[in-house]
Structure 1
Amino acid sequence: MKRVKWYLVLLLVGILLFVGGCTEEDIPTPPTVPVGSTGYSDVSIPIGQFQLQPHVDVVMSTVLGGELTITLGSNPTTGYQWSEDAEISDETIIRQVSHEFVGPGIDEPPGTSGEDVWIFKGLKRGTTTLLLEYSRSWTGAGLWAVTITATIR
């Protein structure tokens, strides 16, 4: 009988330890995305930030004729990739100039993430919205997204 009580006590302690380990831990707040204030604006969001926050909203601005550069972490070996062209709500305000994938260095192991880089040029004063999605083309469902509110001053 004493042996059964000890087993019950050990079982209860084990359950308490298990339940205590299942408590929700605080998720760190993603870092503030830096925004430039003159001439052009550069924003760089590493791939790890999207694991904390799958949809990121960014506010950017530049002067008329200035450029916005957006760099997003990417790992095409997973089958996911960022949209080639941004969805731009008003293409009279801003135009996509380029988009390229920059792979990891040659010393990095296979499967290491790289970066997608877009450059946009301000065409006229105003505010517009850009959307970039990270998805698998064959599923049609996006995993991550970035919405950029771009103001041309």
Structure 2
Amino acid sequence: MTDTTARLALPMIVPGQAQKEMTHNEALALLAIAVQAQVTAVGTNVPPTDPMLGECWVVGPAPTGAWVGQADAVAGWTGGGWRFVPAHPGFTVGVAYTGRRARFSDQGWESETAPAAVVAPSGGDVIDTQARTAITQLLTALRGLKLLPE
């Protein structure tokens, strides 16, 4: 048996443990960061000097200060200080300043791109060509959002 869960590194209560509420509360604090995660920014290496309670960031590849050793994790400011949830493939966060999402994969954090404008077919002699172009644009946009496989 391990001391933490495999994906989110949540602390486990072990048999005979004293002060089980401490472990349980720590797990709740980490879940508050991880579930429907919303971050201020992605790839930040320097912890903010005056974070607000509940704010989160995706730690960059070369963290400093209180974030040293937490590259790629989601860092959340809590009443007890910084808490970190490790990234795992498929972990997705909302990015507040862009209104888009970022997803972690084996290549690191990737921000979703804005879908390309799709031109609607307008009829006439080249409707088949226009329709094929519109369908291609839609497929490209859906693949860019990771809603369809490449």
With the length of structure 1 as denominator, give the TM-score of the two structures. Answer: 0.21
Q: Which of structures 1 and 2 has the bigger CA Rg? A: 1
Structure in which a larger fraction of residues adopt strand: 1
With the length of structure 2 as denominator, give the TM-score of the two structures. Answer: 0.21
